[in-house]
Amino acid sequence: MLTSVFIAVVSLALFGMAAFTLWWQMHAWRTPEVLASTRFSSPDGGEQLSFSLLLPARHEQAVLDHTIQRLLESSHAAFEIIVIVGHDDPETTAVAEAAAARDPRVRVVVDTHEKKNKPKAMNTALPYCRGDVVGVFDAEDQVHPELLAHVEHAFRSTGADVVQGGVQLINFHSSWYSLRNCLEYFFWFRSRLHLHAQKGFIPLGGNTVFVRTDVLRAAGGWDPHCLAEDCDLGVRLSSAGKKVVVAYDSDMVTREETPGSLVSLLKQRTRWNQGFLQVYRKKDWKQLPTLRQRMLARYTLMTPFLQAFSGVVIPLNVAVAIFLDVPVGVAFITFLPAVTALVTFVFEVVGLHDFGKQYGLRVRLVHYLKLIAGGPFYQLLLAGAAIRAVWREQRGRSDWELTRHVGAHLDTADVRTREDVAA
């Protein structure tokens, strides 16, 4: 009897979690109207704002020049690029200086911190920004030339303080985990973030994020001690009532690549999870005005851990239902979380199809199979990263484990992938 009650309670809790996550994940596709509202509206021409684009680069001489060139192709009239390099990184500095010599819109700022990380680098550059809006990109990003014009329009037409553009991992064909990784980004930027913007609580992404310079300065820039400074900034700004707008257009997203190996993905995920934990413990989100917002904040920041937990418990639960002698009613309840997980699975498959359509990529049967077969293993990876994050946070280790990029999303950099990419 006690076992039955216990199992039922755990199952219902898991079901609730999974159902809410699914509900939010599917936000953008709720109605055609919601989907239409997630897009950038077309700019009307009048450009009044100027941009300062921060480009922190560390040991990224291979991709940096390409990124700067792409950024310079932007159609917007008023922007500057501030490349931030380390004083101990002569190779990247050389690439940056060469670009600055070619084009007056490029400037180089040298970060001299002894222990380096991304928020420190960006805080170093913040005083040098001359634009009305600060934008952040990563050194390996592919940015659409029309993006700035659209962002400016979003700022002016909505009166926003922050505009978050879409970021999309593209190299889904590289490996089984990059497939899932791409899809995670797809659901996050395509759908879930819009819900957060609407609810007034949003963990921002690490790049393609634009903040009004005065707002950013008033907020004191980025938190140099936080491992997820992007998330933290979003939480602080939205908790202070700043207005955040998210816009996603498949041809306007910033294209990125997945981490090059499972280990680096694990490290990246550990860093994010630990960062989320830190943000949770900083308690800025407690200033949110309504209980529902605070619950959403609490839940979102805990998600990696809940996810890890449910990834382990759901299969266990089903096993219990099948092998232990529990009443049929209870057995049914134990299946609820698994059913929700299945629904999520199905929507992921549809999402992959939509992803392929949106980006003109040929998704083959084998990719769908990989997506399905890889699901449980990806869960394991997420669980591992979550446990590792808690472990590191407990031990007080909060140094950066940077992700290495090989440029798999650039058509020219990796010939091997070209056959999979239609046009």
Partner 1 sequence: MTSTLEPVTAPRIPAQRRPAPPAATGRALPPRRLRSSRPDLLLCGVLLLAILVVQGWNISAYPAFSDDEGTYLAQAWAVQEGKGLAHYTYWYDHPPLGWIQLAVLTWIPAMLSPESMTVGTMRAVMLLISGISAVLVYVLGRRLALPRWAAGLGMALFGLSPLSVVLQREIFLDNLAVMWTLLAFTLAASPSRHLWHHFGAGMAAATAVLTKETMLLVLPALFVTAWRHSHRDTRKFALTGAVTACALIGFSYPLFALLKGELLPGAGHVSLWDGVKYQMTRPGSGFILDQGSGSWNVLQSWLYYDRILPLGGLAGALLLLATWRWSVTARALAGPALAVAVLAALALRPDGYLPAMYVIQALPFLALVLAGGAASVAHAVLRRGRSEREKRAAVYGRYALAGALALAACAYVGPRWYDGTRIAVTVDANAPYEAASRWMAEQVPDPARTRVLVDDAMWLDLVHAGYEPGLGVIWFYKADLDPAVTRTMPGGWRDIDYVVASPTVRRDAEDLPNVKAAIEHSRPVAVFGTGEDRIEIREVATAGGAR
Q: What is the contact surface with partner 1 in residues (CB under 8 A)?
A: 19-20, 23-24, 26, 29-37, 39, 41, 157-158, 160, 194-195, 197-201, 238, 241-245, 289-290, 292-293, 321-322, 328, 331-332, 335, 339, 342-343, 346-347, 349-350, 353-354
Pick 11 or 175: Cβ nearer partner 1: 11
Evaluate whether 135 touches 56 at the Cβ level (below 8 Å): no
CB closer to partner 1, 349 vs 413:
349
Q: In 61-173, which ranges are continuous DSSP H helix?
A: 61-72, 90-102, 118-125, 147-158
Distance between CA 238 and CA 236 in Å, rounded?
6
For residue 107, the minimal CB distance to partner 1 (Å) is 33
Task: Work out how close the CB of 275 gets to partner 1 at its nearest, in angstroms, rounded to a whole number.
Answer: 23
CB of 351 to partner 1, least distance (A): 8
Smaller CB distance to partner 1: residue 253 or 321? 321
**Whole-angstrom Cα distance, residue 351 to residue 340?**
16
Vertex 379: Cα angle to 334 and 359 (nearest 5): 115
Cβ atoms within 10 Å, residue 37: 13
SS in 3 state form for 223-280? CCCCCCHHHHHHHHHHHCCCCEEECCCCCCCEEECCCCCHHHHHHHHHHHHHHHHHHH
| Closest-CA residue to 109 (of 51, 50, 54) | 54
Phi, psi of 347 (to 5 degrees): -65, -30
Q: Does residue 109 sit in helix, strand or coil?
A: strand
Residue closer to partner 1 by CB (options 28, 383) is 28
In the bound state with partner 1, the residue whose beta carbon lies nearer, of 289 and 376, is 289
Task: Output the smallest distance, CB 232 to partner 1, in A.
Answer: 18
Q: How far is the CB of 20 from partner 1 (least distance, A)?
A: 8
CB 335 to partner 1: min, Å:
7
DSSP strand E in 88-208: where? 106-111, 133-136, 162-164, 167-169
Which residue's CB is nearer to partner 1, number 332 or number 400? 332
- To partner 1, the closest distance from the beta carbon of 349 in angstroms equals 8
| Strand duo 79-86 + 162-164: pairing | unpaired
Backbone angles phi, psi at 134, to 5 degrees: -100, 130
Shortest Å distance, C-beta 324 to partner 1: 11
Which of 121, 136, 133, 153 has its CA nearest to residue 213?
A: 133
* Closest to partner 1 by CB, 156 or 217: 156
**Least spacing, CB of residue 195 vs partner 1, in Å:** 7
CB of 311 to partner 1, least distance (A): 20
Task: Select 23 or 391, whichever has its Cβ closest to partner 1.
Answer: 23
Residue number with CB closer to partner 1 (242 or 388): 242
Decide whether 38 or 92 has the Cβ nearer to partner 1: 38
Q: With contact defined as beta carbons under 8 Å apart, do 188 and 81 qualify?
A: no
User: Who's near 7: CB < 8 A, 6+ residues apart?
Assistant: 317, 320, 321, 326, 330, 333, 334
Classified as helix, coil or strand, 82 is: strand
